[in-house]
Each structure stands twice: as structure tokens, then as C-alpha cells.
Structure 1
Amino acid sequence: MNLSSFDPLWLCIAGAVFGYLIGSLSFAVIVSRLFGLADPRSYGSGNPGATNVLRSGNKGAAILTLVFDALKGYVPVVLALQLGLNEAVVTLVGLGAFLGHLWPVFFKFEGGKGVATAAGVLLGFSPALGGLVLLVWLGMAVVFRYSSLASLSAAVAAPIVQIAGWGFGPLSIGVIVMSALLIWRHEANIRKLLAGQESKLGQKAKPPTPVEPQ
């Protein structure tokens, strides 16, 4: 399909909206419902993501959540590349998918932290880029067994790897924005890590601590 005749501004808007709508599919909630599990927003960290679904004790549901959360970042980006869209539009498609996961319009804007979706977006941008960042995550997860610490390390590494390997451009801005938002979404985890209270990978879930009324 030749999209060169379309207005670049409208292509950017359409790409961002398309990515956002795909990203708004909260597979942690969808998969949990299909498996008859509790809503992942109601236990553990309260985060609708694969790590929290794993705390339910159902590894199959957690794996499916991880795969589909990654695919909803990967597929829109690859589709945009196949359509021959320029780097700015492709970046906005990926960023839109990531933002959809964080604030999903179909699930009352109660989204996850975006680690798997960001990984899918990076793999879509470049398999080499995504693969290198995933190696950082895997290495930290194996050594320390903290998903949050592995995610934070990967978030810091992503823009460094991207700029060092491919130079600065629209893609770099998208990666930097995703990394900054990932770190921000892990604010509570950072506090727990510093206090030595963070849960390790596979640790059984506990209900979220009730918030006392002000």
C-alpha cells in the first residue's frame, strides 16, 4: 500500500491512535478472566502484568500474558514498517501501544508498568536492539531475582544501546520517553528495593495493603 500521498501529520495521529488502541488490550485481565483467576489488580502489587499474574500461582496464565503483552507492542510496529511508514510514524505507533498499556481506554485507564509491551516495541523497532535490552533484563533477573530491578536496568540501558548503535533520531526520543515512563511507573518498587521489602520473582501473592482514609 502506498501511503506517501497521505498528509504526514494525519499519518502520525492515525499511527499513534492505532497503537494506543491495540496497547489498551489489558491481557493480564483478559487472560485471568479466561483462566478463572482473580483480577490481577486485586492482589500482589495490584499491577496488571505478567509478573503479578505469576503470583497467582498459574504459570500458564503468566506466560500467555507476557507473550500477548509483548505482541501488542511488536505487531503494530512491524505492521507500520511493512507499510513503509517513516521513522517518526513508526515511533509514534510503538509509543502509542506502550501508552495504551499504561493507561488502557478499555479498562478504566488502570494499566500496568509496560515492561513486556516496551520489549515488544523495541523488538519491532530492531530485533538487535530488543535482543540486547532483553539480555540486560535477563541477566539482572537471573542474578538478583527481582523483576523490578531487572526492568529498571533494562530501561536505563535501552536508550544508551539505541543511541550508541543506531544514532540519535525520532526513534531515540521514543525510546527515551518509554524508559522514563517505565522508571516512573516503578517508583513504588524502587522504594521497596531500597527498604529490602521487594518481592522476588515467583513469590506468592499477598493482597495489596489497604489504603487508610485521609
Structure 2
Amino acid sequence: MPPIGIFFSSLALIVLAYLIGSISFAVLVSRCMGLQDPRSFGSRNPGATNVLRTGNKTAAALTLLGDAAKGWLAVWIALLAARHLQLPTLAVGLSAIAAFLGHVYPIFLRFKGGKGVATALGVLLALQPWLALATAATWLIVAYASRYSSLASIAAAVFAPLYYLFGGNVAWDFDTVICLCIVVISVLLIYRHHANIGRLLAGKESRIGGKK
């Protein structure tokens, strides 16, 4: 494929990944189940943690699965296209970032989205399943011990690129571009939790299952 074809094919993948990431399962699930719009209460973030504040665990679980699935799907499509069209790894990495940004800044919700934790996990699942498993385990351990979803998310974001780096060429094939893209997603995720970090330090952060 000529360079111009590679460029436009890569660009199409990135845009598609962003659009897939922009689908808000928190809003869709809430509407389908007759629940209050998650943007109108609690943290006002359209994500699984805020949906859980309604007390409907099924809705929260469906939101979590949907947000993770869209991250996985966007990157899976990018991987498949890159393999068949012989596109550079950068196209896959940027598609991963685009899917995450789609959730955080969704075009369908006027660029006001969630924190992106579940979507980031879905992205990792498509890139490297064992990495996703290790990152999810980190989230669960910290969440169980602290009862803070935000703290668990921050810890998982910190450890994800470290797991990829130290597991490279041992548990999976290491790729510098993919590693850098994971770092970018982790930094963005931590940035999205800057308000939570302030509340954690002040002892005012809501615990899992509590009403904000």
C-alpha cells in the first residue's frame, strides 16, 4: 500500500475508534432501565461507578461491561485492519488512545464523558489479555482494601505501563510504541482523577457503594 493509503487507512481507524469510544453505556443503560441520568447526580460522570450510586448493581455491571467492550472492540478492529492492510503499529496505538479519549471526551455528549477506567481496561484486553488481567487484579485488590474506586483506578493506571514494561519479552512481545501509548492513557486517566486525588488527600472521597 502506498504511503498515502497507509495514512488515510490509519486515520480512518483512529476516527472509528474515537466514535466507538464515544458511545456512553452509562447513559444508554440508564435510559433503557428507566434510571436517572448519571450526569445529573453524584460525580455527574457517565460511568459505572456513578451508575452504582443508584443502587442498581445490574445497571452498573452492564455499564462496566459495555464500556470495557467498546474499548476492546475499537482496538480489535485496529489490530485486524493493521494485520490485513500492513499498517504500522502506531495506527493501533493511536486507535487505542482515541478509543479512550472517545469515552473521556465523547462527541455525542458534548465532550463531557467519564473517567475511562473500564474503557482503558478493554483497550488493554485487546492489546494484551494477560496485561489486562494483571491490571484488573491490581484494581480489585486496592478497591477491596480501601473501598475507594478512584484510588484503585489510580493504582491500576500507575502499574499498567510498569507491568507491560517488565513483562515484555517474558509474558508477551514488547513493543515500544504500544508501551508509550499505554503510558499516555495512564497519564490521561490519572489526570482525569485529579479532583479525586484532592478529595482523597482531604479525606472527603466517597467510598464504593456510597452516595456522593
CA distance in 2 between partners of 1:11 and 1:161 (Å): 31
| Residue among 48, 51, 58 paired with 1:50 | 48
- Tell me the residue number matched to 2:144: 142
Partner SS for 1:202 = coil
In structure 2, how many angstroms separate the alpha carbons of the residues matched to 1:173 and 1:18? 21
Match of 1:97 among 75, 96, 99: 99
Answer whether contact 2:27 2:46 (CA < 8 A) is retained: yes
Residue type of the alignment partner of 1:183 = I
Higher fraction of helix: 2
Q: Which residue of structure 2 aligns with residue 80 of structure 1?
A: 78
- Deviation of 1:79 after TM superposition, in Å, equals 2.2
Q: Which amino acid aligns with 2:6?
A: P
Q: Is residue 2:34 matched to residue 1:36?
A: yes
Q: Equivalents in 2 of 1:114, 1:19: separation in Å?
A: 14
Name the CA distance, whole Å, in 1 between partners of 2:106 and 2:208: 25
Q: 1:132 aligns with which of 125, 129, 134?
A: 134
Quote the Cα distance in structure 1 between the aligned partners of 2:7 and 2:139: 35
Partner of 2:121: 119
Note if 1:161 corresponds to 2:163. yes
- Give the Cα separation in 2 of the matches to 1:72 and 1:123: 11
The answer to whether the 8 Å contact 2:17/2:96 transfers is yes
Q: Name the CA distance, whole Å, in 1 between partners of 2:199 and 2:99.
A: 28
Q: Hey, what's the Cα distance between the residues in 1 that align with 2:39 and 2:124? A: 26
The letter of the residue matching 2:46 is P
Following the alignment from structure 2 to structure 1, what is the Cα–Cα distance between the partners of residues 88 and 151? Answer: 34
The percent identity for this pair of structures is 52
Deviation at 1:91, TM superposition (A): 1.1
1:122, CA displacement in angstroms? 0.5
Deviation at 1:15, TM superposition (A): 1.4
- 1:197 maps to 2:195: no
- Cα distance in 2, alignment partners of residues 50 and 156 from structure 1: 21
Amino acid corresponding to residue 132 of structure 2 in structure 1? G
TM-score when normalising by structure 1: 0.90
| Amino acid in the other structure paired with 1:23 | G
Q: Is the 8 A contact 2:94 2:181 kept in 1?
A: yes
Match of 2:182 in 1: 175
Matched, 1:186 2:184: no
What do the CA deviations read for 1:148-193 (whole angstroms, capped 9, x no partner)?
A: 0000000000111112222451101211111011111001100111
Tell me the residue number matched to 1:209.
none
Secondary structure of residue in 2 paired with 1:7: helix
- 2:65 is matched with 67
Offset of residue 80 of structure 1: 2.1
Letter aligned with residue 161 of structure 1: Y
Q: How many angstroms does 1:49 deviate by?
A: 0.4
Q: Quick check: 2:68–2:123 contact (8 Å CA) kept in 1?
A: yes
